[in-house]
Structure 1
Amino acid sequence: MPAYSAPRLRLAIVASLCSALMAGCASAPSPDRAAPTPVPELRPGVPAGYLGKDLPDSLVLLPPPPAEGSAAFRQDQAISRAARKLRGTARYALATSDADLHPAHAAGAFACALGVPISPQDSPRLYLLLQRTMVDAGLATYSAKNHYQRVRPFVHYRESTCAPADEAALRKDGSYPSGHTAIGWAWALVLTQLQPARANPLLARGRSFGESRLVCNAHWQSDVLEGRAVAAGAVARLQADATFRADLAAARGEVEALQARAAQPAGDCAAEAAALAIRIPGVL
């Protein structure tokens, strides 16, 4: 399992995952919902993933990133140019929102696609499931990230990203593969397993969550594509974990209860759909 010393994504996953579901935090679930049983923690208030040392090894799983000057890298550059033209649009605003991995915010990115609210108060079991799978998917990218230390597009072009406050840390954090993409695609796969009738909107949102990294100028397309591969490996490995399967079943029951009382996502789903309709030309 990768060490927890590399900067950006691990800080987001480990240092910023304090959950309202854990003992001692301020928020509490609705009275008709029991809080989940406490789980192992990486540090106080930060729940561990399910896989521990059994993460897929992204360095073994993935090929090397495209070399500068190669046809594959020229494709990365072409997509980057197209994505950067979306700055100032509604799609750029959504990409900026997708960059925020604090779980209380990030999990809500999938609420419209799922059709019910995702929060510590409305869906505590689902929220905890997403927290723990975030850790697994995100950390699974780090053996390749640390080995290749690929330079990110905003550094390559001497430009900015949609999250300027993060740029100093991102400069020290390898671009390949994309951890944000791995998290978003893992969530899309897990939520599709939980609610297969919502597969199309969930998978589309998972795809767009990764593509937001192109719009933000934080990743190359090959980083995004291989982030999905790491996510698929992590979710496949999760299927053998009994605790994950039990938590998935509990979250499914919770979502079905929300559906039965017609609970609606808190966000503006029409505005989200309009932003997602703005596509990046040439994206695979």
Structure 2
Amino acid sequence: MNRLAAASLALLIAGCTAAVAAPQSAQAPATAAGAQRAAFDMGPAYLPGPLPAGETLVGAPPAAGSQALQHDEALSAAGLALQGSARFRLAAADADLGPGAVPGAFSCAADVAISDRATPAIMHLLRRATADFGTSTSGVKALYNRPRPFTVNNRPTCVPNDEGALRNNGSYPSGHSAIGYGAGLLLASVFPDRAAALTRRGIEFGESRRVCNVHWDSDVAAGRDFAAATFARLQSDPAFREDLVKAQAEARNLISAAAPGAQACAAEAAALTGGRNEAPGS
């Protein structure tokens, strides 16, 4: 990873939710890089740093007194009404970027249990691209340093242990939303027959940040914009294109990969449907 990309990933790590690290084995010494990998299951980014001129893509966050800010506040209130619900618990699960968490979030939508053992090429592609989607927002985050909703409404989040780190990190755009929507777009290109479900799950992954009370709706929408632009940018990278071809071939040749758990997928679907019904307009 080059120096600029490493710096951008450091910004992502400072601002994204700190997932609980998996226990390290005797063969994996507790180095800073090892701890980073345990909390954030990402590979080296394909691209060098944040999205260039990202501020021209989304502009400034909503201004005080604007209709856009009123819309943010209304949807924030709708998200707060979901606290304690199944959708709120799913938002907490979606906050995790640790080992296996992102592929796990998309396995039901893909109808394949995405894992290192069953789908190594897909996992490799997803890990590397996830770093690109996440770091794409870091420049604009630092530019605006927008306060997060929980610092304004003083209500709980779904990640109380991370509030200290998030409190001083910009809310706009959402890096988690960029990761989720980007992963949905990426996996839709790997499993084209599941494109609608995967893209929808990517949207909901970002919506989880609003439900969690750590991002405004406009943060989440801007994160999707960054994911779309980054996904387009990735198409010009030879290493990405080569890895995408390998992942697509692996998906076509899957014969006995385990399906995700039916009970868990039914619970996820119910949580997502309930969340949409309880927060109309989100």
**Pair 1:211–1:249, CA change in 2 (3 A):** same
1:281 matched to 2:279: yes
Where do 5+ consecutive residues of structure 1 fail to align?
27-41
- Structure 1 residue 43: deviation in Å? 4.8
Q: Which residue number in structure 1 is paired with residue 117 of structure 2?
A: 121
Task: Calculate the TM-score normalised by the size of structure 1.
Answer: 0.84
Question: Which of 124, 133, 140 is matched with 1:137 structurally?
Answer: 133
Q: Which residue number in structure 1 is paired with residue 188 of structure 2?
A: 192
Aligned length: 263
Amino acid at match of 2:94: D
- Structure 1 residue 265: deviation in Å? 1.7
Q: Which residue number in structure 1 is paired with residue 81 of structure 2?
A: 85
| Between structures 1 and 2, the one with greater helix share | 2
Matches within 5 A, 1:29-44: 43=33
- Structure 1 residue 282: deviation in Å? 3.7
Deviations 1:99-153 (A, max 9, x none): 1111421221000101111122221221121111111011110111001000000
Query: Contact (CA 8 Å) 1:8, 1:169: kept in 2 or not?
Result: no
- Structure 1 residue 175: deviation in Å? 0.2
Q: Secondary structure at the match of 2:115?
A: coil
Report which stretch shifted further, 55-64 or 185-194.
Answer: 55-64
Q: Distance in 2 between matches of 1:2 and 1:50?
A: 9
Query: Contact (CA 8 Å) 2:112, 2:259: kept in 1 or not?
Result: yes
Task: Calculate the TM-score normalised by the size of structure 2.
Answer: 0.85
Q: Which residue number in structure 1 is paired with residue 145 of structure 2?
A: 149
**Pair 1:93–1:5, CA change in 2 (3 A):** same
CA RMSD in angstroms, aligned pairs only: 2.7
Report which stretch shifted further, 113-122 or 74-83.
Answer: 113-122
Q: Which residue number in structure 2 is paired with residue 263 of structure 1?
A: 258
- Structure 1 residue 62: deviation in Å? 1.6
Query: Contact (CA 8 Å) 1:188, 1:203: kept in 2 or not?
Result: yes
Q: Which residue number in structure 1 is paired with residue 211 of structure 2?
A: 215
Question: Which of 4, 7, 20 is matched with 2:7 structurally?
Answer: 4
**Pair 1:54–1:146, CA change in 2 (3 A):** closer
Matches within 5 A, 1:158-237: 158-237=154-233
Query: Contact (CA 8 Å) 2:116, 2:123: kept in 1 or not?
Result: yes
Q: Distance in 2 between matches of 1:78 and 1:18?
A: 35
**Pair 1:55–1:97, CA change in 2 (3 A):** same
**Pair 1:182–1:17, CA change in 2 (3 A):** farther
Identity, % of aligned positions: 45
**Pair 1:152–1:139, CA change in 2 (3 A):** same
**Pair 1:129–1:2, CA change in 2 (3 A):** closer
- Structure 1 residue 196: deviation in Å? 1.4
